[in-house]
Structure 1
Amino acid sequence: MVSVQRSSLLVTSLVLAACGDSQAGTDTAATTAETEAPGSSEASGGSEATGTPTTSEPAPTTSTTDGGEAVRPNWHQDIAPLVTASCQSCHVAGGIAPFALTDYEESKQWAGVMASSVALGLMPPWHALETDVCQPPLPYLHDPRLSDEQKAMFQDWADLGAPEGDLALAAPLPSPPSLDLANPTKSITMATPLTVDRVGNTTDFFHCLSLDPGNDAPVYVDGIQVLAGNPKIVHHVLIYVDAGADSASWPGGVKQNCGGGSGIGNAQLIGGWVPGGMPMIAPAGVTTELPAGARLILNVHYHATGGGPEEDKATGLALRWSDTAAEWSTLFTLIGAPGMGTSLNGPLMIPAGASGHVEEYEYTVPAEIPVFADVRVWTVLNHMHKVGVDMRVWVESGDTETCLLHTPKWDFNWQRSYQYDAPIGSSFRVRAGDKVRLRCVYDNTMANPGVVEMLAEAGLDAPVPVGLGEGTLDEMCLTGVGVAIKGGL
């Protein structure tokens, strides 16, 4: 699972946290409706959020019973603490979400949408699920999924007409999760501003930014934070390491319309970010060498608001590093297509009109890893494009099979890595000879909303054969696996 080539040393494999994550990883979060920008066609599995309530405003209701007791659940005692902790990373004035939820007046009209979104599992965006074919070896860090009781609370509140309750009885409001990396060593931002505006029906643009961390000697990274310069239009970000600094030749440090990848052929994906994302921090005792002179590439998905031109001039990264390597060093390996491993089906090709099409890949952990080496998996991410609907990765070791990650409701618009919630020495161990297996399922029909969106972007009205590549009409079947190695190889 790990490459023994030193060129594979990358910035820390990253843990991403979408709206609703808590730093403690507790299940106290609740969430609301879609967080897409107005006019977006990329809502996560539900109806498009446009900034106007999709249900009628709840009927007026009293906040107390005939006996004078507060109606429960109500805003001040029950709902406000959950919304504050879960939603206000995105649902604030000027945020990426199409409406704010910072007080009762703003929130009450969305009560029905909140209830339906959390009941359907559309929010918070979390796609690593336990299934009949996948029981991960450890829980995931920052898992924001709601308990049945929390979901029921939102539904009960909506059913009651969204009562406000008594401000005098209000529960203390928690602080929203911090989105700032503690004690960053350096912050770097884009060198050239970009302006984004709707062009006809096109609202989504992918531009690559090349950033120079400025380290003249190797440094050891344990934390990274994406800085969204204009949250109105920065939809999500993918992060790559350009070890050879090839992107330094881009005029102004920008390659516009670079597609869904890095803009160069030899950079490696190390993670991503979505609105509300928290700092990405390696497990205690783990660092990654960032080679001297390497650059970092941000593939920024900009989503035009439709309200006129918007400028981004400050998107970048905050990095935290030291001059000393920790006991564990981390590598990030890409497996599948395009990555290391062998196809079990031949070249990736999804016929037009195919539903339930499967592509599978296998990678054998190399024998060069010493039998005494301690290699632990600590984060995993899946990656497909818009034809993909279901992806699973597992490890076969002798007669034992361990599922690392299953994303059975794949959504291209909400990509993240999933970090295990365990000390690095207790995380899942791999050994030479273990086989990593990938299974990707695709639906190349008009029944797949991703295909409809993909074709619209390309000006087509019927499915076409889809092969391997980074463009709108291409696909991948790729897993990124972050491992930590005790003492190095």
Structure 2
Amino acid sequence: MKKFLMGSLLVAGCASESESPFIDGFDPPAPKSDEMQIVAPAVRNVAPGTDITMCAYIDTRVDVDTDVIAYHGYQSVLGGHHVILYSVAQQQAANAHECTEDDMINARYIAGSGADSPPAELPPGVVFRIPANTQLMVQTHWINATDKPIDGQGAFNLKVTSPKPEHQTAQLFTVVDTLFEVPVGNGHKTSTECTVGQAMNVFTMGAHMHYWGTHASITHTPAGGAGKMIYDHGWTEEDVFDPPRNNYPTTAPFKLAAGDKIKIDCTYNNTTGAPLPFPAEMCVAWQYAYPLTQEINCTDGNWPR
């Protein structure tokens, strides 16, 4: 197995030293001296009308625990919807395939972005940790709305440092509605609510919808208390990749306790002429929170066991 050090270029695939690891038109910047770059293999010939999420397992490891303190994700623009970097517990030979539920149960969030997303910097003392000797997996989502096959690719530049005793490890916590279909027309609403299973400190909160979303709100209900809307935003196409965010300093994080409830409400205007099921459209509340060591996805009101 290959190992890497900070500042090295990680390339999945068979590119020679003289051959670019990137597809035509995709050229993320080289990593800086305190960064490392993760490059996913190209996704080839995504057929017209296809909506597909790919998981690429990379045959590369970090040899020591490595803390990510900032990152910038890159994805080729044509058809690109998101790119997410995970470390995985159950390792496998390097390969790329359409993602399954087993892939996501296996994953620990490291970084995430969209084709037009800005760079992200974590608050001082908060990190996403890559455990030593764990495999990396890059998930990419592609929606080909053209009439021709397309190629796509994703990459990350990660600013990293050695772990320190004062570092708080963060993870992604999502509240996801999958049991809906958006009919044609304006004003359809859907929502889901999650009862939180453990205490956490939230430092960033946002919503996620696709192109037909018009409004998203998030309500927090303390255990035994009254609900209060804490996120309330209209939605545009630009918000798909760069959504409005609530940011909280580590000196005053948004605290969630076991038994609290988080509810996401989404509104849509479906102009496609056909119903939009999940995942063509989405309704997600997402939070970056600490201290967590595993991604938590509360799907359709079900806290993971």
Q: 1:298 aligns with which of 136, 139, 143?
A: 139
Residue identity in the other structure for 1:243: V
2:252 match:
426
Q: Over residues 159-205 of structure 1, what are the superposed CA-to-partner deviations in whole Å (9 max), with x where a residue is unaligned?
A: xxxxxxxxxxxxxxxxxxx97775444212124x44458x6xx3776
Q: How does 1:194-273 map to 2 (within 5 A)?
A: 194-196=43-45, 202=48, 206=52, 208-212=54-58, 214-228=61-75, 231=76, 233=78, 235-241=80-86, 243-245=88-90, 248-249=92-93, 251=95, 254-255=96-97, 258=98, 264-266=103-105, 267=107, 271-273=112-114
Seen in structure 2, the aligned counterparts of structure 1 residues 290 and 303 have a Cα distance that, compared at 3 Å, is same
Residue identity in the other structure for 1:188: I
Residue identity in the other structure for 1:289: R
- 1:480, 1:284 → 2: CA distance? 20
1:163 match:
none
- 1:426, 1:379 → 2: CA distance? 12
Q: 2:240 aligns with which of 414, 419, 427?
A: 414
Q: 1:479 aligns with which of 276, 282, 285?
A: 285
1:457 match:
none
Q: 1:376 aligns with which of 201, 205, 218?
A: 201
Q: CA deviation at 1:226?
A: 2.0
Q: 1:318 aligns with which of 137, 157, 166?
A: 157
The answer to whether the 8 Å contact 1:262/1:299 transfers is no
Seen in structure 2, the aligned counterparts of structure 1 residues 194 and 288 have a Cα distance that, compared at 3 Å, is closer
Seen in structure 2, the aligned counterparts of structure 1 residues 183 and 416 have a Cα distance that, compared at 3 Å, is farther
2:37 match:
187
For the pair 1:463 / 2:274, whether they are aligned, the reply is yes
2:218 match:
393
Q: Over residues 50-88 of structure 1, what are the superposed CA-to-partner deviations in whole Å (9 max), with x where a residue is unaligned?
A: xxxxxxxxxxxxxxxxxxxxxxxxxxxxxxxxxxxxxxx
Q: CA deviation at 1:379?
A: 1.4
- 2:150, 2:182 → 1: CA distance? 39
Q: How does 1:58-457 map to 2 (within 5 A)?
A: 183-191=33-41, 193-196=42-45, 202=48, 206=52, 208-212=54-58, 214-228=61-75, 231=76, 233=78, 235-241=80-86, 243-245=88-90, 248-249=92-93, 251=95, 254-255=96-97, 258=98, 264-266=103-105, 267=107, 271-275=112-116, 277-292=117-132, 293-301=134-142, 315-325=154-164, 326-337=166-177, 348-350=179-181, 352-353=183-184, 355-366=186-197, 368-369=198-199, 375-385=200-210, 388-397=213-222, 398-399=225-226, 401-403=228-230, 405-411=231-237, 414-416=240-242, 418-420=244-246, 423-443=249-269, 448-449=270-271, 452=272
Query: Segments of 4+ in structure 1 off by > 6 A?
Result: 178-181
The TM-score with structure 1 as length reference comes to 0.44
Q: CA deviation at 1:482?
A: 0.8
- 2:30, 2:68 → 1: CA distance? 16
Structure 2 counterpart SS, 1:423: coil
Structure 1 counterpart SS, 2:82: strand
2:296 match:
none
The answer to whether the 8 Å contact 2:71/2:157 transfers is yes
Seen in structure 2, the aligned counterparts of structure 1 residues 322 and 196 have a Cα distance that, compared at 3 Å, is same
- 1:194, 1:420 → 2: CA distance? 33
What is the number of equivalent residue pairs in this alignment?
262
1:38 match:
none
Q: Over residues 299-328 of structure 1, what are the superposed CA-to-partner deviations in whole Å (9 max), with x where a residue is unaligned?
A: 14376888x887657x42222333314432
The answer to whether the 8 Å contact 2:207/2:244 transfers is no
Seen in structure 2, the aligned counterparts of structure 1 residues 207 and 328 have a Cα distance that, compared at 3 Å, is closer
- 2:120, 2:256 → 1: CA distance? 23
Q: Over residues 85-113 of structure 1, what are the superposed CA-to-partner deviations in whole Å (9 max), with x where a residue is unaligned?
A: xxxxxxxxx799xxxxxxxxxxxxxxxxx
Q: Over residues 411-450 of structure 1, what are the superposed CA-to-partner deviations in whole Å (9 max), with x where a residue is unaligned?
A: 488233555455321333333433212112244xxxx23x
2:11 match:
none
Structure 1 counterpart SS, 2:61: coil
Q: CA deviation at 1:225?
A: 2.1
- 1:219, 1:477 → 2: CA distance? 32
Quote the sequence identity (%).
Answer: 16
Seen in structure 2, the aligned counterparts of structure 1 residues 395 and 181 have a Cα distance that, compared at 3 Å, is farther
**Bigger-Rg structure (1/2):** 1
Identify, as 1 or 2, the structure richer in helix: 1
- 1:478, 1:290 → 2: CA distance? 25
- 1:263, 1:302 → 2: CA distance? 22
Residue identity in the other structure for 1:210: A
- 1:409, 1:241 → 2: CA distance? 28
Residue identity in the other structure for 2:88: A
Q: Which runs of 5+ in 2 are unaligned?
A: 1-24, 293-305
Seen in structure 2, the aligned counterparts of structure 1 residues 310 and 399 have a Cα distance that, compared at 3 Å, is closer
- 1:302, 1:476 → 2: CA distance? 14
Residue identity in the other structure for 1:186: M
